[in-house]
Amino acid sequence: MIEMKDVYKTYPNGVLAINGISVKINQGEFVYIVGPSGSGKSTFIKMMYREEKPTKGSIVINGVSLENLKEQEVPFLRRKIGVVFQDFKLLPKLTVYENVAFALEVIGEPPRNIKKRVLDVLDLVQLKHKARFFPDELSGGEQQRVSIARSIVNNPSVVIADEPTGNLDPETSWGIMRLLEEINQRGTTILMATHNKEIVNTIRKRVIAIEDGKIVRDETRGEYGLYD
Ligand SMILES: Nc1ncnc2c1ncn2[C@@H]1O[C@H](COP(=O)(O)OP(=O)(O)OP(=O)(O)O)[C@@H](O)[C@H]1O
């Protein structure tokens, strides 16, 4: 479970990005985070994987309080949380296989476990046949599937996706959604910040809407709302 209590975030330049958020997200939920541009969606999710720290308030993920987490413990948190970005963030000089394997190597996974695990997740995202390709030899949708494979290769309990379909055409975006739903059906919590109205209104899930750094709406089977 993810629990935020009275969280505030002011950036060093004085911008108040999160203005008092409390929320609970249960294991296995699929949650869309929506809201206008600049409303605080990315800041909200960045605090969950400790890319940003709250100025005030507490965040507890699966019983681990992020407040008391020491810098050297952050990699342990990142094992429990997979992250997917709009611009994929693959390493250009590594192959598809190596990009995914790297996520296991950095956490010291024994080499004998790595090969099977990487091939299993590449199979899940249907890219086993492109394991030796480099990122610039793949389409945008394929690159996003590699980045999703990388995000789940450690078996995290949560996957956080910041506009995962933002750079993709509509048809490719539906494919990415099917994959995220499949991962969710295996028990992984998914948090997805998105501007994709059509997806939110078609694949209905919990919707948390953020405006001016506050939650203004939290609905079990919500709609996108009137944002651009
Ligand atoms: N690193 C930073 N330093 C200072 N201000 C920041 C930083 N990151 C974000 N902000 C500001 O915090 C506010 C919230 O930004 P955030 O990126 O969380 O919004 P968002 O809802 O994700 O927007 P978008 O939908 O455009 O991605 C904005 O006013 C933004 O300018």
> Among residues 199, 96, 112, 110, which one has the least CA distance to residue 148?
96
Identify whether the C-beta of residue 228 lies closer than 8 Å to the C-beta of residue 32.
Answer: no
- Pocket perturbation via mutation, ligand 1, pick of 43, 55, 200, 214 by most ligand atoms within 8 A of CB: 43
Split at pLDDT 50, 70, 90, the class of 213 is: very high
Residue 46 inside a domain? The answer is yes
For 43, residues 6+ apart whose C-beta sits below 8 A from its C-beta are 9, 17, 18, 52, 213
For ligand 1, the distance from its centroid to the CA atom of residue 194, given in whole angstroms, is: 14
Distance CA 105, CA 223 (A): 40
Identify whether the C-beta of residue 112 lies closer than 8 Å to the C-beta of residue 80.
Answer: no
47 lines ligand 1 (CB under 6 A): no
Q: How many domains does the chain have?
A: 1
Domain housing 45: 2-90+156-219
53 lines ligand 1 (CB under 6 A): no
Distance CA 157, CA 188 (A): 5
What is the reported pTM?
A: 0.95
Could you tell me whether strands 16-25 and 2-10 are parallel, antiparallel, or unpaired per DSSP bridges?
A: antiparallel
Residue 212 inside a domain? The answer is yes
Identify whether the C-beta of residue 19 lies closer than 8 Å to the C-beta of residue 213.
Answer: yes
What local confidence, expressed as pLDDT, does residue 70 receive?
Answer: 87
Residue 174 inside a domain? The answer is yes
Output the DSSP codes for 16-81.
EEEEEEEEEE-TT-EEEEE-STTSSHHHHHHHHTTSS--SEEEEEETTEEGGG--GGGHHHHHHHE
Residue 121 inside a domain? The answer is no
Mean pLDDT of 128-151: 97
SS3 content of the chain, % helix, strand, coil (to 5): 40, 25, 35
For ligand 1, the distance from its centroid to the CA atom of residue 39, given in whole angstroms, is: 7
* CATH at 208: 3.40.50.300
Split at pLDDT 50, 70, 90, the class of 74 is: confident
Atom of ligand 1 nearest to the CA of 163: 27
Share of the chain above pLDDT 70, in %: 100
Give 190-209 pLDDT, tens digit per residue.
999 999 999 999 999 999 99
Mean pLDDT of 58-84: 88
Residue 114 inside a domain? The answer is no
Atom of ligand 1 nearest to the CA of 46: 18
- Pocket perturbation via mutation, ligand 1, pick of 10, 15, 47 by most ligand atoms within 8 A of CB: 15
Residue 135 has pLDDT above 90, yes or no: yes
Residue 147 inside a domain? The answer is no
Which tokens go with 110?
A: 């024994």
Split at pLDDT 50, 70, 90, the class of 95 is: very high
127 lines ligand 1 (CB under 6 A): no
> Among residues 105, 104, 106, 148, which one has the least CA distance to residue 125?
148
Residue 131 has pLDDT above 90, yes or no: yes
Distance CA 65, CA 61 (A): 6
Give 156-172 pLDDT, tens digit per residue.
999 999 999 999 999 99
What local confidence, expressed as pLDDT, does residue 112 receive?
Answer: 87
Give 34-50 pLDDT, tens digit per residue.
999 999 999 999 999 99
Residue 225 inside a domain? The answer is no
173 lines ligand 1 (CB under 6 A): no
Q: Which residue has the tokens 């980045």?
A: 147
Please report the sign of the dihedral spanned by the C-alpha atoms of residue 135, residue 138, residue 140, residue 143: negative
34 lines ligand 1 (CB under 6 A): no
Atom of ligand 1 nearest to the CA of 39: 21
Distance CA 190, CA 201 (A): 17
Burial of 111 (0-12, 13-18, 19+ CB in 10 A): exposed
What local confidence, expressed as pLDDT, does residue 77 receive?
Answer: 82
Mean pLDDT of 125-139: 97
**What average pLDDT does the chain have?**
95
Mean pLDDT of 46-65: 94
Mean pLDDT of 74-96: 92
What local confidence, expressed as pLDDT, does residue 124 receive?
Answer: 94
82 lines ligand 1 (CB under 6 A): no
14 lines ligand 1 (CB under 6 A): no
Longest CA–CA separation in the chain, Å = 51
